[in-house]
């Protein structure tokens, strides 16, 4: 999955966003909690001050009953626990709205001591295993500190609030994250989409489809890349057209002189009825070279004809078996001469295809020519026909040396000859290139592989033709 740039981009965005959100979430939760606690502290301080003013006279008189009575008369919001002490620290009143929340001895002594010293104190601390937010203020009567009021709110009360803050922050982070997933998915697609499009187009261009162009969608670097790619494809197309024209023109121009040469060599042989051995060998060599030249020019003309679409196919129902038999028979003498056995087999009722029989003969001839050329004496070349799921197959197998794995992808290229066949064997490297174009033009495919036991196996596939209409 992470092989795709889209997912990698997306993962990067997500990691960055997640880290930022985590930091923000934790910070927000802490900050909100702290603010809330500070607010509670301020509220407690205000309440303690209110109580201190109310009970000032009773505390000044150190009257427990009066202090409690006066304290009970104070109305204040919330339900903090309140402890009122006299100047010696003795408790005059100890109140809690709920018994479970009563702040027991010892009260937060430091805060009380500070208040008795005339200073206000507020904060939060552990009291008896419970976390308490507290505020302590002095009770001032006649300008002197007469005692202190301590108000504390156990955090149990606040926990609900804090939970609420945390869940709020949590949900906000989650919603933002989902939103971020969506946005980063779109963003990653926007960047990776054109790249994938260009990659696919480049692969098609490399495979020979030079008419490929990609849409220029943006005005950024990706747009520039698309433009450059289109420019490159256009240039390649132009060069390819020039090359084709050149091959067509050159082979056309060569045809007449080569034909004249063939005739001249034949005439020369006739005019010298019994040449001496040296002249005979020379004449033979010249004859062979002229023949090679003639076949090369023929191949080049064929290639430029198929490449430019000038080959007119007569697609009719054909029995492949007959085509193969004709080709095999025509190669039998050469097989016998090389000591290579030629075999043909196929289903009893034949293999019908919709094809041009002359062109299919040409394709099979190229394959058999190679097979015979590369198979050493004593070997075997087998042509097998078959039909499977609407496809007709021809397999041409030999017991030759096989093809190097590195060469396999290139053997259908123009002028390609494997290194091991470069020396000694004659051929321009055009046979398979022509064969492939002819098969593709008829709606089929051709491929090659090495046989496990040694030798090569070529497979030609064509769509099966209508059985009843087959004329053979
Ligand atoms: N049956 C085979 N066994 C081993 N190698 C093969 C076989 N068929 C093709 N090749 C390899 O593929 C190359 C290309 O084959 P192709 O038929 O296109 O060219 P060629 O036979 O060398 O020349 P041409 O067909 O133009 O006379 C050959 O040169 C050879 O290296
Ligand atoms: Mg060949």
3-class SS string, the chain:
CCCCHHHHHHHHHHHHHHHHHHHHHHHHHHHHHHHHHHHHHHHHHHHHHHHHHHCHHHHHCCCHHHHHHHHHCCCCCCCCEEEEEECCCCEEEEECCCHHHCCCCCCCHHHHHHHHCCCCEEEEEEECCEEEEEEEEEEEECCEEEEEEEEEEEHHHHHHHHHHHHHHHHHHHHHHHHHHHHHHHHHHHHHHHHHHHHHHHHHHHHCCCCCCCCCCCCCCHHHHHHHHHHHHHHHHHHHHHHHHHHHHHHHHHHHHHHHHHHHHHHHHHHHCCCCCHHHHHHHHHHHHHHHHHHHHHHHHHHHHHHHCCCCCCCCEEEEHHHHHHHHHHHHHHHHHHHCCEEEEECCCCCCEEEECHHHHHHHHHHHHHHHHHHCCCCCEEEEEEEEECCEEEEEEEECCCCCCCCCHHHCCCCCCCCHHHHCCCCCCCCHHHHHHHHHHHCCCEEEEEECCCCCEEEEEEEEECCCCCCCC
CA 453/CA 435 separation, integer angstroms: 25
Reading the block at residue 196, the tokens are 């994938």
Residue 369 alpha carbon to ligand 2 centre in Å: 6
Q: Whose CA is nearest to atom 27 of ligand 1?
A: 427
443 CA to centre of ligand 1 in angstroms:
23
Q: What is the CATH number of the domain that holds 341?
A: 3.30.565.10
Please tell me the number of the ligand nearest to residue 374's CA: 1
Tell me, what CATH number does 303's domain have? 1.10.287.130
133 found inside a domain: yes
> Do 321 and 453 fall within a single domain?
yes
Q: Which two tokens stand for residue 455?
A: 């030798």
C-alpha of residue 87 to centroid of ligand 1, in Å: 114
**pLDDT of res. 46:** 92
Rounded Cα gap, residues 23 and 358, in angstroms: 76
Q: Is the domain of 363 the same as that of 287?
A: no
Query: How many Cα atoms within 13 Å fall on the side-chain side of residue 142?
Result: 6
166 assigned to some structural domain: no
Q: Tell me: do 322 and 421 sit in the same domain.
A: yes
Give the per-residue pLDDT at 104: 58
Give the chain's end-to-end CA distance (angstroms, integer): 51
Whether residue 269 sits in one domain with residue 362: no
Distance 207 CA to ligand 2 centre (A): 21
Instruction: Pick left, alpha or beta for residue 378 (phi over 0 → left; psi -120 to 50 → alpha; otherwise beta).
Output: left
Domain that holds residue 453: 316-463
CA of 417, closest atom in ligand 1: 29
Q: How far does the centroid of ligand 1 lie from the alpha carbon of residue 233, in Å? A: 29
Q: Tell me, yes or no, whether 86 lies in a domain.
A: yes
326 and 277 fall within a common domain: no
Pairing of strands 81-86, 130-141: unpaired
95 and 34 inside one domain: yes
How far is 396 from 248, CA to CA, in rounded Å?
30
Q: What gap in Å lies between CA 384 and CA 382, rounded to an integer?
A: 6
| Average pLDDT per block of 10 residues along the chain, 472 residues long | 79 88 87 86 91 90 88 73 87 73 62 90 78 89 90 77 84 89 87 89 91 91 94 95 90 92 91 86 91 90 86 91 96 95 92 93 96 94 93 95 92 83 66 94 95 94 70 37
Can you tell me the distance from the alpha carbon of 322 to that of 341, in angstroms, rounded to the nearest whole number? 19
Tell me: do 332 and 429 sit in the same domain: yes
User: Quick one: pLDDT at residue 189?
Assistant: 86
Same domain, yes or no, for 232 and 379? no
Q: Name the residue at shortest CA distance from atom 28 of ligand 1.
A: 417
Which token pair is 45? 């301080």
User: How far apart, in whole angstroms, are the C-alpha atoms of residue 141 and residue 58?
Assistant: 10
Of 274, 307, 340, the domain-final residue: 307
User: Would residue 107 count as lying in a domain?
Assistant: yes
Helices 221-271/155-206 angle, 10° precision: 20
Give the binding-site residues of ligand 1, using a 6 Å CB cut-off.
299, 366, 370-371, 374, 398, 400-401, 403, 411, 416-418, 421, 427-433, 456
Q: What is the pLDDT of residue 470?
A: 39
Does residue 440 share a domain with residue 404? yes
Are residue 40 and residue 106 in the same domain, yes or no?
yes
Residues 226 and 283 in one domain: yes
Total number of domains constituting the chain = 3
Cβ neighbours, 10 Å, residue 401: 17
Global model pTM greater than 0.85? no
Q: Is cis: bond before 106, omega within 30 of 0?
A: yes
Nearest CA-CA partner of 380 in 400, 354, 353: 400
Distance CA 404, CA 211 (A): 32
Give dist(CA 71, CA 84) in Å, integer: 9
Statement to judge: residues 47 and 24 lie in one domain: yes
Domain end: 119, 143, 161, which one?
Answer: 161
| Best probe residue, ligand 1, of 417, 449, 456, 458 (max atoms within 8 Å of C-beta) | 417
């Amino acid at each position: 999955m992470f092989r795709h740039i889209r997912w990698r981009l997306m993962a990067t965005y997500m990691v960055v966003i997640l880290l930022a959100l985590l930091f923000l979430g934790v910070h927000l939760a802490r900050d909100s909690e702290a603010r809330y606690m500070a607010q509670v502290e301020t509220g407690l301080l205000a309440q303690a001050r209110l109580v201190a003013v109310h009970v000032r006279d009773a505390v000044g008189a150190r009257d427990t009953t009066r202090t409690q009575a006066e304290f009970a008369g104070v109305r204040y919001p919330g339900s903090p626990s309140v402890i009122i002490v006299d100047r010696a620290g003795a408790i005059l009143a100890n109140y809690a709205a709920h018994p479970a929340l009563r702040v027991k001895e010892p009260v937060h002594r430091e805060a009380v001591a500070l208040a008795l010293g005339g200073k206000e104190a507020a904060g939060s601390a552990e009291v008896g295993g419970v976390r308490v937010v507290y505020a302590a203020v002095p009770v001032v009567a006649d300008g002197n500190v007469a005692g202190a009021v301590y108000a504390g709110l156990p955090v149990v009360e606040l926990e609900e609030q804090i939970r609420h803050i945390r869940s709020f922050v949590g949900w906000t982070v989650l919603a933002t994250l989902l939103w971020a997933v969506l946005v980063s998915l779109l963003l990653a697609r926007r960047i990776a989409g054109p790249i994938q499009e260009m990659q696919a187009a480049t692969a098609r261009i490399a495979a020979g489809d030079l008419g490929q162009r990609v849409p220029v969608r943006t005005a950024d670097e990706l747009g520039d890349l698309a433009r450059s790619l289109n420019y490159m494809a256009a240039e390649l197309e132009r060069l390819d057209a020039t090359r084709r024209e050149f091959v067509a023109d050159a082979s056309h121009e060569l045809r007449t002189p080569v034909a004249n040469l063939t005739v001249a060599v034949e005439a020369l042989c006739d005019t010298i009825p019994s040449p001496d051995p040296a002249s005979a060998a020379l004449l033979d060599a010249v004859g062979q070279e002229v023949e090679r030249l003639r076949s090369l020019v023929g191949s080049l003309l064929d290639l430029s004809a198929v490449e430019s679409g000038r080959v007119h196919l007569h697609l009719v129902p054909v029995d492949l078996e007959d085509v193969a038999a004709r080709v095999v028979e025509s190669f039998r003498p050469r097989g016998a001469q090389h000591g290579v056995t030629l075999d043909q087999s196929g289903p009893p009722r034949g293999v019908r295809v919709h094809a041009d029989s002359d062109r299919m003969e040409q394709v099979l001839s190229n394959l058999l020519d190679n097979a015979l050329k590369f198979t050493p004496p004593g070997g075997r070349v087998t042509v097998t026909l078959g039909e499977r799921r609407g496809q007709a197959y021809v397999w041409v197998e030999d017991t030759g040396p096989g093809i190097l794995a590195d060469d396999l992808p290139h053997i259908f290229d123009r002028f390609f000859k494997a290194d091991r066949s470069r020396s000694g064997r004659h051929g321009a490297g055009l046979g398979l290139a022509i064969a492939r174009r002819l098969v593709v033009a008829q709606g089929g495919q051709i491929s090659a592989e090495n046989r496990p036991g040694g030798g090569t196996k070529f497979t030609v596939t064509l769509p099966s033709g209508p059985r009843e209409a087959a004329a053979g």
